[in-house]
Amino acid sequence: MKGIVLKNIKLNDKYYHMIINSKEFCLKVSAGQFFMIQPKEFDYIYDPLLRRPFGVCDIDDNKENFSLLYMVVGKGTKLLTTIREGVEIDFSQPIGNSFTILKNKKVAIVGGGIGIAPLFFLAKELKKNSCDVTIYFGGQSSEDIVFTDEFSKYSDRLVITTNDGSVGIKGFVTKPFEDDIENFDFVYSCGPKKMLEAVSKISVEHSKPVEVSLDERMACGLGACLGCIVYVREGGDVVQKRCCVEGPIFDGSKVLWESVCR
Amino acid sequence: MKGIVLKNIKLNDKYYHMIINSKEFCLKVSAGQFFMIQPKEFDYIYDPLLRRPFGVCDIDDNKENFSLLYMVVGKGTKLLTTIREGVEIDFSQPIGNSFTILKNKKVAIVGGGIGIAPLFFLAKELKKNSCDVTIYFGGQSSEDIVFTDEFSKYSDRLVITTNDGSVGIKGFVTKPFEDDIENFDFVYSCGPKKMLEAVSKISVEHSKPVEVSLDERMACGLGACLGCIVYVREGGDVVQKRCCVEGPIFDGSKVLWESVCR
Amino acid sequence: MHKLLNINLCGVEFKNPIIAASGTFGYGLEYSNFIDLNRLGGISVKGISLNEVKGNPMPRIMETSAGMLNAIGLQNVGVEKFVKDKLPLLRRYNTKIIVNFWGKTLDEYIEVAKILDREDVDMLEMNISCPNIKEGGIAFGTDPKMTYDVVYNCKKVMNSKPLVVKLSPNVTNIKIFGKVAEEAGADAISAINTLLGMAININTRRPFLSNVTGGLSGPAIKPVAVRMVYELYKTINIPIIGIGGIMDYRDVVEFYLAGASAVQVGTANFVNPEIPLKIIDDLESYCLKNSIENISDIKGKVITN
Amino acid sequence: MHKLLNINLCGVEFKNPIIAASGTFGYGLEYSNFIDLNRLGGISVKGISLNEVKGNPMPRIMETSAGMLNAIGLQNVGVEKFVKDKLPLLRRYNTKIIVNFWGKTLDEYIEVAKILDREDVDMLEMNISCPNIKEGGIAFGTDPKMTYDVVYNCKKVMNSKPLVVKLSPNVTNIKIFGKVAEEAGADAISAINTLLGMAININTRRPFLSNVTGGLSGPAIKPVAVRMVYELYKTINIPIIGIGGIMDYRDVVEFYLAGASAVQVGTANFVNPEIPLKIIDDLESYCLKNSIENISDIKGKVITN
Ligand SMILES: Cc1cc2nc3c(=O)[nH]c(=O)nc-3n(C[C@H](O)[C@H](O)[C@H](O)COP(=O)(O)OP(=O)(O)OC[C@H]3O[C@@H](n4cnc5c(N)ncnc54)[C@H](O)[C@@H]3O)c2cc1C
Ligand SMILES: Cc1cc2nc3c(=O)[nH]c(=O)nc-3n(C[C@H](O)[C@H](O)[C@H](O)COP(=O)(O)OP(=O)(O)OC[C@H]3O[C@@H](n4cnc5c(N)ncnc54)[C@H](O)[C@@H]3O)c2cc1C
Ligand SMILES: Cc1cc2nc3c(=O)[nH]c(=O)nc-3n(C[C@H](O)[C@H](O)[C@H](O)COP(=O)(O)O)c2cc1C
Ligand SMILES: Cc1cc2nc3c(=O)[nH]c(=O)nc-3n(C[C@H](O)[C@H](O)[C@H](O)COP(=O)(O)O)c2cc1C
Ligand code: FES
Ligand code: FES
């Protein structure tokens, strides 16, 4: 697919927000899905080579534009920051499974750092379906805490934590979440793997269903390369799932965390 | 060296003109010299890898800005077109030898296609030194004929030819040049190697001194890689010259054309 | 439709010489939602073995400059499931099916070859060059005697299908392996598989791949691949399928000039699944523009005097 | 000044482990107008032979994806002129001088080694891996017996200087060559030289290099180089100088973790002559930031369990 970059805004030194116009994409996508994007304007440049995966952060109400919230970490994301408004960019269809969208439930959303990106779209969908939404949003420090106004709009409670205490509660995001867990029917999470593992364990201990969005390194995003395997318990067996097409959303209670975390 | 890109103007589908601010560069450069430029904004991208050589096309009267006139042929030059005004760009010092700047002589300047680039700077210098300058400027077709107003300003006669006759005289630029050759004391040329060979032969036949600017593929532009060798007669011997540091300007009567042309 | 691009490889008619490379195209079906598989000349499926293989632990892939490293470890469903579950679905498409296969032992190679030879596939491609498994794989591809044995013995049990032998670039002299495979009965050679490489994460001080080393593919390796195809073309008489870093039609022409009779597109499928189709279109235009009646006319036509 | 980066290689003290790679730095002097040579750990000069060599016809270089091909053909002024004209000028700089050398025959290797051993240079680096000349060069580097003979015989005539042997990556098993060189008396190994590659101009249908094939260098080959250094480190006990695609300090750290005791920077010098100096600065900061007392502390420290 192709679409025009409408905005590519620097939020702070670490995060950017890009809005792309594509009705075709918006009509297909659901919360939790991601896409692969060519992190450069030119297809004849082979460094960086592969497309990069990003979660869908938001869709406008007219279903014409979608956005990605991205953190600058390496070559690809650095180059993404230089893409100018008005440029046509190449990306894949929406890929993967999506979060379960419940109705009229009390849900917790736990996001860590850039893991917050696909949770915005999720919160919006859950609110539309009359859920009571509590968002736990944790970061290293204040610059990781972005989009708070928007998150307030799509949640009933927004709990912010930072490791250095620069905004919100000082400490890990899992702490306030664990304190409140008995209030919830369902838990959603995205963020660093260590955090997802903790969120899943806490949820399991309290017998709460939990869905996590996993980021594995990806080459194809099509289910072909077998580079993005996640090990999951199914019945009594451990089975291999391709994070790109059979994920990125997994039942947190089933994931073999020891094979994932590094 | 580094400098700010002040302009990067599309002249037509084939040619661009870039102006870079760098007093340091301007104070050192003389007509016929070239420089290597990183054809991208980012040094952590390794495709394209090497810097690209370009002749110096013009220097402003305050010696603050210099320009390059470039033809879009491959990856590097395509990327060059995307460099935005205001961006800081990395380039080498002025490299190589330079054209002999005569005083009060009648000179012919023969340029073919993009070979015209360094000849503009040359014409300006020769005019400053009270030479009578005739410029022969040949191209495939009308889009190769750029900067004619400026060339008129720095020449006493401007003869334009195109292979397809779309502007100027139809045919090769060497024809009108050969017709007039007896009028000149000295010949300068830059352009396709076949043309340089022809210009050199004609000059030698009429016992006119001739200087040509040669384009060899270059990796380092420093004299280190030995990738840009030109074979030249010196005394009775044939010697190897590095086009980058011992050129790019050669005595056209001395060049071993059979080893150069391909 | 594609007269300019029709080729015959060991008696099999391909509508065009663009084949999806093994391991980069799954079982083909993965791509069916993204591109029209009917347009491809052929598909070489992920390397099949006698029994199901789970592959290496994660992480298995890493990008490098103009290339990528992989150590998937030949994960596959095994020949039985492949034939039962994947092949019938794949056969619905009008494209040639090449089955890439391998074994941990000589007997496994023979067994898989025997099974596949009876099935509805167009060609077999023997992988003796995978750098990412401990047993078998690359050992068969880096010792001429073992290469001879495995090719000879598989060919002996095959009655109907052409056998392509896929060579490893991790050798001092690829000509020897081409020659040996030819002598042992190979109907064609494909070259190259990946170069053995390694990358280390300086923050964790661990290799980026759990397997420590992996196979390097992509544009970075194209010059090595073109050189090897050229060397093979001067040495052997059976056709060569050129592989390595092909990203556009120009690369295909380059491999043809070096001596290839067809090509496989690998890593490019990851970069953008539409690349093979674009190559087919562009290659056709190229032939038209250059008055080339059939792409085979330029095979080996590099001028080196 | 650079305590963090001081290293001792075969008894020679380097102020830092960043050495300019042979063939990419001329005779050093070419760079003296662009950078302060005194800051470099060392310079490995362009491969020197007994007699002057004019090299291959043009064209000799071509860029490829994240790399370049060269077939310079070891053009050099010959050992006599080098010693008379270049060495005295180079010696004015406070940096270690490694003389890369080669021969067309065993006798030539020995002769050059003998001459250089008596001169005011710090180390000799034997090139048995240049892919771009017909005689000698790579033949010595792809046959273990020849490798042994040339190393053993050169070492025998050398009394004072350490001998580094530079290996070719164009072999099935580099460990064998490392082992053989060590047994024959090499004091250190440098790896790797260029990979043999080829590129064809589809418009002219001619190879981009007059020599048809050439040596591939640059970031494209880094994964192969790191893998080979890692393999060598596990096999031999003499120090390894890591070479191949180094562009920044992170690459240097990667080679160290794989097992290198020093590195050479090659193609990067063409990309920007200031790269080696930037690497030195950045490497120092890296050591400080990570509380590494001396860069050697991380040698071979890749974690592979
Ligand atoms: C399903 C999914 C959704 C994602 N959503 C987002 C998002 O919404 N916002 C965001 O900022 N980031 C997201 N990421 C992570 C993002 O893809 C990486 O940060 C990005 O690819 C890094 O590219 P780079 O070139 O800057 O870094 P480099 O380190 O130069 O990348 C090198 C290679 O590693 C891969 N890679 C590196 N880090 C990661 C990672 N953490 N996960 C997967 N692949 C990686 C790249 O794809 C590439 O192939 C997501 C990842 C996945 C798998
Ligand atoms: C001394 C000198 C002065 C030059 N002055 C100008 C000028 O003023 N304006 C202009 O438009 N062009 C000039 N050129 C040619 C210009 O350098 C090439 O067109 C440019 O490098 C092509 O780069 P690319 O990436 O677009 O093409 P690619 O084909 O992708 O380049 C691949 C490689 O080949 C080299 N290369 C390709 N073509 C040439 C060529 N004709 N000459 C030298 N190297 C080449 C590149 O440097 C690069 O390493 C000059 C060349 C030299 C040697
Ligand atoms: C992820 C991945 C998996 C691969 N798996 C196989 C395989 O199963 N069998 C095989 O013969 N080659 C396999 N290869 C090698 C490719 O078929 C091809 O030879 C190689 O990647 C070079 O081509 P490229 O540069 O176009 O990718 C694999 C390559 C990659 C990148
Ligand atoms: C133009 C060029 C010339 C070279 N000449 C020599 C040489 O004379 N002797 C030698 O041992 N290696 C030579 N090399 C190989 C380099 O020293 C180095 O081993 C190789 O380029 C890989 O390192 P890099 O990727 O950093 O360039 C040459 C490389 C290049 C690019
Ligand atoms: S990224 Fe290729 S299979 Fe998932
Ligand atoms: S370009 Fe390297 S010596 Fe001239």
Average pLDDT over all residues of chain B: 94
- Among protein residues, the one with the nearest Cα to ligand 4's atom 1 is B225
Which of B13, B16, B49, B73 is the best mutation target for the ligand 2 pocket, counting ligand atoms within 8 Å of the beta carbon and taking the most?
B73
Residue C299 confidence (pLDDT) above 60: yes
pLDDT on residue C133: 63
Is D207 an interface residue toward C (CB < 8 Å)?
yes
What is the pLDDT at residue A40? 86
Among the partner-chain residues D199, D206, D245, the one whose CB lies closest to the CB of C223 is D199
Helix C222-235 vs helix C174-183: angle between axes, to the nearest 10 degrees? 50
Q: Quick check: D219 and A46 CB within 8 A?
A: no
Assess whether the C-beta atom of A95 lies below 6 angstroms from ligand 5: no
Structure confidence at residue C146 as a pLDDT band (50, 70, 90): very high
**Are the beta carbons of D15 and D283 closer than 8 angstroms?**
no
Q: What pLDDT, on the 0 to 100 scale, is given for residue D134?
A: 61
Distance, in Å, from the CA atom of B215 to the CA atom of A11, rounded to the nearest integer, reads 46
Instruction: Decide if pLDDT at B128 tops 70.
Output: yes
Residue B37 neighbours by CB under 8 Å, 6+ apart: B51, B52, B54, B68, B80, B89, B90, B91, B92
Per-residue pLDDT averaged across C58-80, rounded? Answer: 96
Pocket test for ligand 2, best of B29, B98, B217 (most atoms within 8 A of CB): B217
pLDDT at B185: 96
| Mutation site for B-interface testing, chosen from A46, A50, A87, A89 by largest number of B Cβ within 10 Å | A46
Range of the structural domain that residue D93 is part of: 3-56+71-196+217-298
From the list B47, B220, B240, the residue facing D269 with the nearest CB is: B220
Helix-helix angle D144-157:D106-117, to 10 degrees: 30
Give the pLDDT band of residue A261 (cuts 50, 70, 90).
Answer: low
Chain C 56-95, residues with CB within 8 Å of chain D CB atoms: 64-67, 69
Task: Note the ligand closest to the C-alpha atom of B146.
Answer: 2
- Name the residue with the closest Cα to ligand 2, atom 49: D63
Q: Look at residue B259 in the predicted model and tell me its pLDDT.
A: 84
Task: Name the strand (E) or helix (H) holding D178.
Answer: helix D174-183
D-chain residue closest to A46, CA distance: D65
Mutate to test the pocket of ligand 6, among B35, B36, B49, B225 (most ligand atoms within 8 A of CB): B225
Q: Which residues contact C187 (CB under 8 A, 6 or more apart)?
A: C10, C162, C163, C164, C238, C239
Q: Which residues of D touch B (CB under 8 A)?
A: 23-26, 30-31, 33-34, 46, 54-55, 57-63, 65-68, 70, 72, 75, 204, 218-220, 247-248, 267, 269-273
Q: For residue D42, what are the β-bridge partners?
A: D19, D96
B243 C-alpha vs ligand 6 centroid, how far in Å?
A: 7
pLDDT band at C32 (very low <50, low <70, confident <90, very high): very high
Q: Is C194 in the pocket of ligand 3 (CB under 6 A)?
A: yes
Flag whether C210 is in a domain: no
| Mean of the per-residue pLDDT values of chain C | 95
Q: Which residues are near ligand 6 (CB < 6 Å)?
A: B 218-228, 242-244
The residue among A82, A83, A85, A89 with the most chain B CBs within 10 A of its CB, best to mutate, is A82
| Chain A residues near residue D66 by CB distance under 8 angstroms | 46-47
Confirm if D17 and D5 have CB atoms less than 8 A apart.
Answer: yes
- Considering CB atoms only, which of B41, B46, B82 is closest to A47? B46
**Whose alpha carbon is nearest atom 47 of ligand 1?**
A52
Residues of D involved in catalysis? 130
Q: Does residue A240 have its Cβ closer than 6 Å to ligand 5?
A: no
Q: Taking the model in full, what pTM does it have?
A: 0.96
The predicted pLDDT at position B261 comes to 60
pLDDT tens digits, one per residue of B34-49: 999 999 888 899 999 9
Q: How far is C148 from chain A (nearest CA, A)?
A: 30
Q: Which residues of chain D have pLDDT under 50?
A: 1
**SS3 (DSSP) at D237:** coil
pLDDT at C1 over 60: no
pLDDT in tens, A75-129: 999 999 989 899 999 999 999 999 999 999 999 999 999 999 999 999 999 999 9
Is D201 a domain residue?
Answer: no
Residue D123 Cα to chain centre, angstroms: 12
Tell if the CB–CB gap between B75 and A44 is shorter than 8 Å: yes
What beta strand segments (E) does chain B contain? 2-10, 15-21, 34-37, 52-55, 58-59, 65-71, 88-90, 106-112, 132-139, 157-162, 169-170, 186-190, 210-213, 229-234, 237-242, 249-251
Q: Specify the ligand 2 atom closest to the Cα of B15.
A: 11
What's the pLDDT tens digit per position in D20-46? 999 999 999 999 989 999 999 999 999
Identify the pLDDT of residue C134.
61
Contact C47/C109 with Cβ under 8 angstroms?
no
Distance from CA of C41 to the nearest CA of A (A): 19
Q: Report the residue from C66, C216, C227 with minimal CB separation from D213.
A: C227
DSSP helix/strand/coil, C8: strand
Q: What is the CATH number of the domain that holds D238?
A: 3.20.20.70
In a domain, C65, yes or no: no
Min Cα–Cα distance to chain D from B190, Å = 20
- Predicted confidence at residue C137, as pLDDT, reads 61
Q: Write the pLDDT tens digit of every residue in C164-220.
A: 999 999 999 999 999 999 999 999 999 999 999 999 999 999 999 999 999 999 999
pLDDT at C246: 98
Q: Answer yes or no: is the C-beta of B34 below 6 A from any ligand 2 atom.
A: yes
Does the ipTM exceed 0.90? Answer: yes
Nearest CB among C30, C68, C218 relative to A224 is that of: C30
**Chain-centroid distance, C-alpha C24:** 9
* Portion 17-56 of A in contact with D at CB < 8 A: 46-47
- Chain C residue at shortest CA distance from B47: C66
Beta-carbon separation of A47 and B42 below 8 A: no
Minimum CA–CA partner of B50 in chain D: D271
Residue C62 counted as domain residue: no
How many Å lie between the alpha carbon of A180 and the closest alpha carbon of chain C? 34
**CA B215 to mean position of chain CA atoms:** 8
Instruction: Tell me which residues of C are annotated as active site.
Output: 130
**Whose CA is closest to atom 34 on ligand 1?**
A217
Task: Name the closest-CA residue to atom 37, ligand 2.
Answer: B217
Cα of A27 to nearest chain C Cα, Å: 17
Residue D303 lies inside a defined structural domain of this protein: no
Domain total of chain D: 1
Ligand 2 pocket mutation, candidates D62, D63, D64, criterion most atoms within 8 A of CB: D63
Cβ–Cβ under 8 Å, residues B38 and B76: no
Helix (H, G, I), strand (E, B) or coil at C122: coil
- Is residue C149 domain-resident? yes
User: Side-chain half-sphere of C118: how many Cα atoms within 13 Å?
Assistant: 9
A128 touches B: beta carbon within 8 Å: no
Provide φ and ψ at A139, rounded to 5°. -150, 170
Question: pLDDT digits over B55-108, tens only?
Answer: 999 999 999 999 999 999 999 999 999 898 999 999 999 999 999 999 999 999
Does the residue D83 lie in any domain?
yes
What residues does each domain of chain A span? 2-90, 99-210, 214-262
C-beta separation of C101 from C49 below 8 A: yes
Atom of ligand 5 nearest to the CA of A228: 4
Is the bond preceding D61 in cis, omega lying within 30 degrees of 0?
A: no
Chains that touch B (3 or more CB pairs under 8 A): A, C, D
Topology, domain B2-90: Elongation Factor Tu (Ef-tu); domain 3 (2.40.30)
In this complex, which of A46, A78, A82 lies closest to B47 when CB atoms are compared?
A46
Q: Does domain A99-210 have CATH number 3.40.50.80?
A: yes
Q: B113-127, B159-173, B217-231, C125-139 — which is least confidently predicted?
A: C125-139
D250 contacts on C by Cβ (under 8 Å): 202
Residues of C with CB under 8 A from a CB of B: 65-66, 219
Q: Measured between alpha carbons, how far is B95 from B114 in angstroms, rounded to an integer?
A: 19
Separation of A92 CA from ligand 6 center, angstroms? Answer: 43
Say yes or no for a CB contact (<8 Å) between B47 and A42. Answer: no
Residue C131 scores a pLDDT above 80: no
